[in-house]
Amino acid sequence: MASILVADDEAGIREFLHDTLVSDGHAITQAADASEALGRLGSQSFDLLITDLKMPGPLDGVELLRRSRDVQPELKVIVLTAHGTVGSAVEAMKLGAADYLEKPLRGPTELRILVSRTLDPWPANGVPSEADPLQELSRAVHSALGPDFTVEGVVGRGGYAAVFRVHDRRLDRQLAAKVLLPEFAAVPDVAERFRREARTLARLTHPNIVPVYFVARERDVPCFVMPFVEGEPLASLLARERQLPLPVVLRIARDVAAALDFAHAAGVLHRDVKPENILIDSSTGRSLLSDFGIAKALAHGSSGTGPGTFVGTPRYMSPEQASGDDAIDARSDVYSLAVVVYEMMAGKPPFDGISAQQILVKHLTARIPSVGSGAHGTPEVQAVMARALAKGAAKRFATAGAFVFALQVATTRRHAG
């Protein structure tokens, strides 16, 4: 367990952080202001600093963060910031903070997940090194699935789960097993909602949705099994080709829109539409949408979609997701699909930045850049994209299918003219 220094002038916040993290086995030291915290950093070694950004006294949290780099250069830092003051958190991220939590804090789940991820980050490429915990997770997946299945190795890792290739020896077929990462699996309500949502998704049958076959039986390893799609994610295709021809864009968009409209009609939101979750089947050419509803399950388990829960992916989040609004609907997925379509046409997402928080702010406030020139950037196409990427959900297309149909009409009219 870790040694953690908590700095906040509000006694209630300090006690909440103390009680939550002590119950997880961490050693907690408290400081009532930045000066006291800096003094403790000079006399004691810590694994993590959690500090408020706005504290009374000669030093604030930003200055504490800056000076902590001189005292303990390798110290990991999470900052606390008041709701609506994302700018100060972005400034802290530039100084090396790992992430931030908004106050008022939403409960222990969000805190526990963020602390766990900060203290024990996973490799960015998802491929395990010799000492990587994914190897241990692989053994746990094998135990959960039973002796009739062979876990052949990791094929990818997202923000909350890893995917393993699995061979079903009984039926001689290749499968994919998706398992929650340990920091999520350790939170009982998140793990149970993951299993429950997977059972719901097993009833979603559509040619453009990767189906769920079954949920693994072992309680400590939240895991579900899907077919292994021979092909590649759209993310790999974009990395290789950057911009895609308009007919390819429209074909992929139609497939994904059909999947979304089917799921929305069944009452299931996706919340994480992105190129990594769109698989292109090499045998059929169809595009399939994966990970349906799992982000929603995690959001419910953590009391919202705020920072630290890692629900969704910043580059593809709708403005309402970026603001932490729980009351999102199908039009949020429409926005995310439009971001993917924009990237296929322009070669990059509309918004990027040096941190997740900076990207989220752009989704909330920045104008949508032009898609570009040529067939992708005609006035007709620009108008459709502007509507699909509207900041307010009420101004967007009501369904994914309506968006893609309008995009197809815009390109047809242009060519006809």
Minimum mean pLDDT among 7-11, 101-105, 146-150, 372-376: which range? 372-376
- The mean per-residue pLDDT over the stretch 239-252 comes to 92
Q: Which helix (H) or strand (E) holds 197?
A: helix 188-201
Q: Which residue has the higher pLDDT, 287 or 203?
A: 287
Q: What is the pLDDT of residues 353-379, one digit of tens each?
A: 766 777 888 888 889 888 876 667 788
Give the right CATH number for 133-227 from 3.30.200.20, 3.20.20.70, 3.90.1010.10, 2.30.29.30.
3.30.200.20
Extents of the domains making up the chain? 3-119, 133-227, 231-416
Quick one: CA dihedral 387, 390, 395, 397, positive or negative?
positive
pLDDT for 88 = 65
pLDDT band at 219 (very low <50, low <70, confident <90, very high): low
Confirm whether 120 is a catalytic residue: no
Report d(CA 48, CA 26) in Å as an integer. Answer: 10
The 10s digit of each residue's pLDDT in 261-270 is 999 998 888 8
> Rounded to an integer, what distance in angstroms lies between the CA atom of residue 126 and that of residue 165?
13
Residue 151 main-chain phi, psi, to 5 deg:
-85, 115
pLDDT of 330 strictly over 70: yes
Give percent of the chain with pLDDT exceeding 70: 82
For the beta sheet containing 223-227, the strands, ordered from the edge strand earlier in sequence to the opposite edge, are 149-157, 161-168, 173-180, 223-227, 214-215
Give every CB contact of residue 18 below 8 A, 6+ residues apart in sequence.
6, 28, 30
Rounded mean pLDDT, 200-225: 82
Which is it for the CA torsion 33, 39, 44, 50, positive or negative?
positive
- Please tell me what DSSP assigns to residue 394: G
Q: 174, 165 in Cβ contact below 8 A?
A: yes
Map residue 21 onto helix, strand or coil.
helix
CATH class of domain segment(s) 3-119: alpha beta
User: First-to-last CA distance in the chain?
Assistant: 67
Residue 131 confidence class, pLDDT cut points 50, 70, 90: very low
Short-list 293, 292, 350, 295, CA closest to 321? 295
Angle at 371 between CA 373 and CA 384, to 5 degrees: 110
Task: Dig out the tokens for 102 from the structure.
Answer: 């908004």
Q: Which two tokens stand for residue 11?
A: 């006694």
Distance between CA atoms of 279 and 210, rounded to whole angstroms?
9
Decide if 176 contacts 164 (C-beta within 8 A). yes
What's the pLDDT tens digit per position in 55-78? 888 888 888 988 998 889 889 999
Q: Which of 32-36, 121-125, 284-288 bottoms out in mean pLDDT, i.e. has the lowest?
A: 121-125
What is the CATH topology of the domain spanning 231-416? Transferase(Phosphotransferase); domain 1 (1.10.510)
pLDDT(306) > 90: no
Give pLDDT tens digits for 140-170: 888 888 889 999 888 877 666 788 999 999 9
In the set 272, 281, 291, 333, the catalytic residue is 272
